[in-house]
Chains A and B, each alone.
Chain A
């Protein structure tokens, strides 16, 4: 499969009264056609800003994409003018957002909100777009779609609203769907419905997905490849099973260790990541994770490690070799169980 989108040295900053916020500090990655890439990170890690920058949905000012290239189907999205970009946004690259309450317009029926994109991008007339809207609502599992087309967003539950958002996102058969924490505001049983829906739709329609989240659990069941972000840098990248099986960056390791797992038997104490993320107004020149890192060595304080290839498929931005570190120290437990 060829690459659908190639991001090169993307740098986004916010020019605020207090100074320059270094939100995204030169990230590189590719997304192949039909692939699901998850971008994982905590609030302020730059995961959303990094992806919003791809289609220039950064409020300008204060934000500014100061450097980089985003190659999508032979064009650099960062060089397009507003009109050319509008042909791509919502059409070939679609988005679904975290909060279905605020991302739908409360004074328009959901039918109108779906047909708008169809009329704009696909030049459909009223009847055609209406028929397609009903089809889309059925596709995302909204019962009695024809009647619900004339309802307003407040008449839907949270999970149903997110389905409407997905229907809107899929309306023009996008090649890339950007999902920005689409299940964070939802309950677990509804989250399971939505994840199930998106995976099913992807196998039917074949679009690529960039899924932004802080939930390592959701990613495990959904992604082909994972990018872990910290302080505006990609610190680790690789196929999902490799990242979870043997993380090679101390931050990824720390995240996996600090969350309780439903399936593991009696867990002892959680191992939190001590301290706080760095202030992006004044980012350190050293490795940004160094102050919180249990494996820190002198070199980390002198030079920020770039994202380096470890093997054919994975990269990590760390000077230390973590290949011998176990995520969960279960050896003691297993021995006890074996004896018993």
Chain B
């Protein structure tokens, strides 16, 4: 299985990433949350496999879109990468250092390089702090930005960068609209000059006409500062717009990863196909002609994922083998990777003329 291969290859990849322009290398990342029973003597009776072995790389300056439905583990992935959770297994190699190995002091220093923008601009800003102290806090924590005066100047500069009036520095979050609050969140993330930002559904809480403002802001900042984004969202139209490459998650696993155009024009995994066909397009002419793939049923519980392929309970093209074995996350050419036996088998037949026997 791929998982074993990637584990052994992890060390060498870490060294490679110093030379090439891989900014982040995630290898077989797992994040399981324990389910416990009992009040005094708590014993673990199972685990929620929120993220269950995902592997991908992020190049410097690129935007990787991470899409999936609620509960697929996309936000957990973002948080586990930033070590906001302690991952159960796997490696997160950021700028050549494995974040899961280093101690908390080193980790805090690394946090200057990686930041996060949250979904809910109402919950992610402390209502009792002024905009100045919210945006300035990272400067204080990391003891950068010099004297108080210099820090204040830096904060005003940041507000200007994100399109807010620097004069707002002493106002409180409730005085701002949703879109403006999200700009404050962006300014806070930028304060420490990060190279990598996890954007966790940064626009889903905003109105349509405001969403475009924030998307444009994120794009501008990227081209000015060379930022790298992991853009987590459930809206495929937005992800297509902003991403260079896109990873599709289902039930804790990445099922497909490809360049933006390739993924939309040539989706291979049945889940990706269904997901794309479900996205409504604001054009009645097209909508009338479209054939939807309507998936039956709901996503299974991540505490008891089905054996074999995760998607076998809902897949319209399910085969015998899907119930027995787990497909590997294989490259089908040009960096287009997919975890599905539909493609696994075709490839093996081409090489040997016989179907490959799959062993778990």
Interface residues of A (CB under 8 A from B): 42-43, 157, 159-160, 187-193, 195-196, 214-221, 240-241, 244-245, 254-256, 258-263, 266-267, 269-274, 276
Contacts and interface: CB of A to CB of B under 8 A. Distances in A.
B241 A43 contact: no
Most buried by A among B177, B210, B280, B285: B280
B70 interface: yes
A187 B281 contact: no
B170 interface: no
Nearest to A156: B298
Contacts of A42: 207-209
A217 B279 contact: yes
- Which has the most chain A C-beta neighbours within 10 Å: B208, B219, B241? B208
Nearest to B287: A221
Contacts of A244: 282-284
A261 B237 contact: yes
Contacts of A217: 237, 279-282
Nearest to B288: A221
B222 to A, nearest CB: 13
Given A262-B236, A262-B240, A272 B209 contact: yes
B216 A259 contact: no
Nearest to B241: A260
Contact of A276 (B177, B215, B277, B295): B177
B237 A259 contact: yes
Interface in B299-326: none
Given A187-B69, A188-B69, A259-B208, A220 B280 contact: yes
A259 B234 contact: no
Contacts of B294: 189, 192-193, 196
Contact of B292 (A192, A216, A258, A259): A192
23 contacts: A42-B207, A42-B208, A157-B298, A188-B275, A191-B278, A192-B292, A193-B294, A193-B295, A214-B207, A220-B283, A220-B284, A244-B284, A256-B282, A259-B212, A260-B237, A260-B238, A260-B241, A261-B283, A263-B286, A269-B216, A271-B212, A272-B210, A272-B211
Contact of B280 (A193, A218, A241): A218
Nearest to A43: B207
Determine which residue in A192, A214, A273 has the highest number of CB atoms from chain B within 10 A of its CB, and name it: A192
Given A220-B280, A244-B283, A244-B284, A189 B208 contact: no
Given A191-B280, A193-B294, A260-B242, 8 more contacts: A187-B69, A188-B279, A189-B294, A190-B69, A217-B282, A262-B237, A263-B286, A266-B261
Contacts of B274: 189
Main secondary structure of the interface of B (DSSP, over half): helix
Contacts of A276: 177, 179, 210
Interface string B133-167: 00000000000000000000000000000000000
B70 A187 contact: yes
A270 B212 contact: yes
A241 B207 contact: no
Interface string B253-293: 00000000100100000000011111111111111101010
B213 interface: yes
Given A189-B69, A192-B292, A276-B177, A270 B281 contact: no
A214 B280 CA distance: 13
A240 B284 contact: yes
Nearest to A188: B278
Interface string B221-236: 0000000000000101
A105 to B, nearest CB: 22
A220 B177 contact: no
A1 B282 CA distance: 27
B234 A215 contact: no
Contact of B209 (A190, A221, A241, A273): A273
A188 B209 CA distance: 20
Contact of A263 (B281, B288, B298): B281
Contacts of B219: 269
A270 B264 contact: no
A260 B279 contact: no
A254 B212 CA distance: 10
B139 to A, nearest CB: 29
A256 B283 CA distance: 10
Nearest to B279: A262
Nearest to B209: A273
Contacts of A273: 209, 212
Contacts of B278: 188-189, 191-192
B220 to A, nearest CB: 9
Contact of A188 (B212, B234, B241): B234
Contacts of B283: 220, 244, 261, 263
Contacts of A159: 298
A190 B72 CA distance: 14
Interface string B316-338: 00000000000000000000000
A262 B264 contact: yes
A192 B207 CA distance: 21
Contacts of B210: 272, 276
Contact of B284 (A241, A260, A263): A241
A270 B214 CA distance: 10
